[in-house]
Amino acid sequence: MVRDGVKMSFSDPVTRQIDVGDVSYFVRMSGRFGAKRPLLLLHGFTGGSENWEPLFPDLALTRPLIAVDLLGHGRTSVPSAPERYGMMYAAADLAQLLGMLGVAQVDVLGYSMGGRLSLYFALNFPQVVHSLILESSSPGLATAPERTERQVRDNKLAERIERDGIELFVDFWESLGLWDSQKGLDDGVRLRLRRQRLRNRPLGLAHSLRGMGTGVQPNLWPRLTELSIPVALLTGELDRKFVGIAQKMLPLLPNGSHRVIQGAGHTVHLERPTAWATAVNQLLTAVDTIP
């Protein structure tokens, strides 16, 4: 397909394994780099870059795409030290990876855990991030007692993953009320998501919780006012918790906006992909006018 005189290729994404220091990242890419600023896509916990692939045809109409398997997920390395998964290291990896691809600046879209990392990335590598879209995400927990309590829960869940193995963990994970809004999805969509989750490795998911879980994430609430770039918050109507978080974030963002997608829960891009893609493309088109 041709848009604005640029041929965009999205039907057969290119995949690469890229070594960044001591780890190897699996990356899916689509479109002609150098033509427009790419969109960097960061998945949620238990997810992977393949979660975005069904959406590539719509997103690639506006720009090149880069989707990454984050540390401990998919085909990216599983470091043995949990501290290696910390946000400061994960964000530095992303900056180095983009540099190796010859990409100076990106728009970033992060979902859930990927959104938390996206926010940290934008705050600590501001020269690299042109705009942010945060789907069902947060700046972390505001108080030390909240973080301590959550860290205890995350550590227990990490131990459960290592003890029970990936299949029993995925059974448990899919039973959580957070995913109730996915029960009406086509069986094929749910099966594809389950198969992707099962391809993760127990140690990778466990260490992701220990190193980059909400309990150990820095509290980014006080830093929201630092973001002069456009920050769009996307939430699903049925995900009342994250709708509320977005409403609290919005007044703190100098250039923020909030869109609620009707009929969607936490995983908006999976549950209402057409509405999600329309909203994302509109947001990206708007930020293209900003130097």
Secondary structure of residue 237 in the 3-state scheme: coil
Tell me, what's the pLDDT at 63?
Answer: 86
Secondary structure of residue 132 in the 3-state scheme: strand
Go through the domains of the chain in sequence order and give each one's CATH number.
Answer: 2-142+219-287 (3.40.50.1820)
End-to-end, the C-alpha distance of the chain in Å comes to: 26
Q: Where are the alpha helices (DSSP H) in the chain?
A: 56-59, 87-100, 113-124, 144-164, 166-174, 187-198, 202-212, 240-249, 268-271, 273-287
Q: Is residue 234 predicted with pLDDT exceeding 70?
A: yes
Tokens representing 205? 């998911």
Question: Contact 220/87 with Cβ under 8 angstroms?
Answer: no
* pLDDT band, very low/low/confident/very high, at 33 (cuts 50, 70, 90): confident
Question: Contact 120/221 with Cβ under 8 angstroms?
Answer: no
Q: Is residue 225 predicted with pLDDT exceeding 90?
A: yes
Which amino acid belongs to residue 289?
Answer: T
pLDDT tens column, 48-76? 999 999 999 988 777 899 999 999 999 99
Question: Contact 133/108 with Cβ under 8 angstroms?
Answer: yes
Tell me, what's the pLDDT at 13?
Answer: 83
Tell me, what's the pLDDT at 291?
Answer: 73
The candidate with the shortest Cα–Cα distance to 209, out of 151, 267, 136, 141, is 151
Q: Is residue 39 predicted with pLDDT exceeding 50?
A: yes
Report CA-CA distances (Å) from 212 to 61, 121, 129, 163, 181.
32, 13, 20, 20, 26
Secondary structure of residue 209 in the 3-state scheme: helix
pLDDT tens column, 174-217? 999 999 999 889 999 999 999 999 999 999 999 999 999 999 99
> For the ranges 28-32, 70-74, 120-124, 148-152, which has the lowest average pLDDT?
28-32
Tell me, what's the pLDDT at 3?
Answer: 35
The answer to whether the Cα torsion of 57, 257, 42, 122 is positive or negative is positive
pLDDT tens column, 101-124? 999 999 999 999 999 999 999 999
Distance CA 52, CA 41 (A): 8
* pLDDT band, very low/low/confident/very high, at 4 (cuts 50, 70, 90): very low
Backbone φ, ψ for residue 53 (5° rounding): -60, -40
Tokens representing 195? 């198969």
- pLDDT mean across residues, the chain: 93
